[in-house]
Amino acid sequence: MLVDSFQRRITYLRLSVTDRCDLRCTYCMPEKMRFLPKAEVLTLEELHRLALAFIARGVRRIRLTGGEPLVRRDMLDLVRALGRQIGEGLDEVTLTTNGTQLAQNAEALREAGVRRVNVSLDTRDPVLFKQLTRRDMLDRVLEGIAAAKHAGLEVKLNTVGLKGRNEDELPDLIEWAHGQGHAITLIEAMPLGEVDEDRFDQFLSLETVRARLEKRWTLTPSGHRTGGPARYFDVAETGGRLGLITPLTQNFCEGCNRVRVTTTGQLYPCLGGGERVDLRAALRDGGGDAALQEAMDRAMAIKPQRHAFAIDAPGQAPAQPRHMSVTGG
């Protein structure tokens, strides 16, 4: 089993298949983002080999991420290969997507073994959507969400709370999601990578949002868990489930069961830390499975107790220079 020095067992892998994305969300990346050359990106076979190695060491859940994972042409082949591991050591394969490519892929994902997807949606206002993503693609995202539901996929929406941008819309967005039969999780903006705006101006405390929502609805803590960092609440008036991911205002590192592998094979044991181990070198330098296993063990030894995220002053440098899309969203 993969166990870190704080006796936390790692059962959840977030595996990035690409750093590329067809949106340019203002809190995620700059407009003129520089993407990786193809030679640095893991091949499909390398991604599959890594996934199998993690499953052999006790990982039960794999979430495929990006960038936008569905912009990678051969990604569905990887999903099908991993889908064959469900029940053979793996409990589930899931996907985080921005939804733009979901309409044409939802049925194939279902057939490959995926049962639930997380779709990023920060607003249903087309004007604000275009401002936040720098792309006019809201209709495609909503079409993708509807297609996923029609295909029988469980859909959870992920919404980054942004001060002065979508914060007044959050109750309506929650109500709409629940009315569609979808759970929704609110996420605090995270200080990863330089962007074109000051994150101090973007950051919205979800503890503040929760207090506002509790004046409107009855929120009851839920025992529901998905393996991730969200705390869940049942909303009596809407009949739906609300998640909160609060890396800044309410740290959740004590129970961390996750590691992330970038599309270049860098294993980051902590999203907010600079510690990393090069799995690509282990794959490509001829060391075989022993080198890969040794690299995974090194990652367990350097996994920190907690991250050090902070957004408490204007002009503050990001906690890490790499962007979320590079690490794996």
Strand spans (E) along the chain = 12-16, 61-65, 92-97, 116-120, 154-161, 183-188, 219-221, 231-235, 240-245, 258-261, 266-268, 277-278
With vertex at residue 245, the alpha carbon angle to CA 243 and CA 251, rounded to the nearest 5 degrees, is 135
**Residue 12 is assigned to a ligand binding site:** no
Class of domain 12-327: alpha beta
Phi, psi for 154 (deg, rounded to 5):
-75, 130
Query: What confidence score (pLDDT) does residue 280 get?
Result: 96
Average per-residue pLDDT in the chain?
91
**Residue 94 is assigned to a ligand binding site:** no
**Residue 21 is assigned to a ligand binding site:** yes
Query: What confidence score (pLDDT) does residue 324 get?
Result: 66
Query: What confidence score (pLDDT) does residue 278 get?
Result: 96
The residue whose two tokens read 């889908």 is 83
**Residue 212 is assigned to a ligand binding site:** no
CA distance 276 to 270: 8
**Residue 43 is assigned to a ligand binding site:** no
Tens digit of each residue's pLDDT (9 = 90 or more) over 177-215: 999 999 999 999 876 667 777 776 788 999 999 999 999
**Residue 253 is assigned to a ligand binding site:** yes
**Residue 223 is assigned to a ligand binding site:** no
**Residue 232 is assigned to a ligand binding site:** no
Query: What confidence score (pLDDT) does residue 254 get?
Result: 80
pTM: 0.92
**Residue 259 is assigned to a ligand binding site:** yes
**Residue 258 is assigned to a ligand binding site:** yes
**Residue 18 is assigned to a ligand binding site:** no
Tens digit of each residue's pLDDT (9 = 90 or more) over 58-87: 999 999 999 999 999 899 999 999 999 999
**Residue 96 is assigned to a ligand binding site:** yes
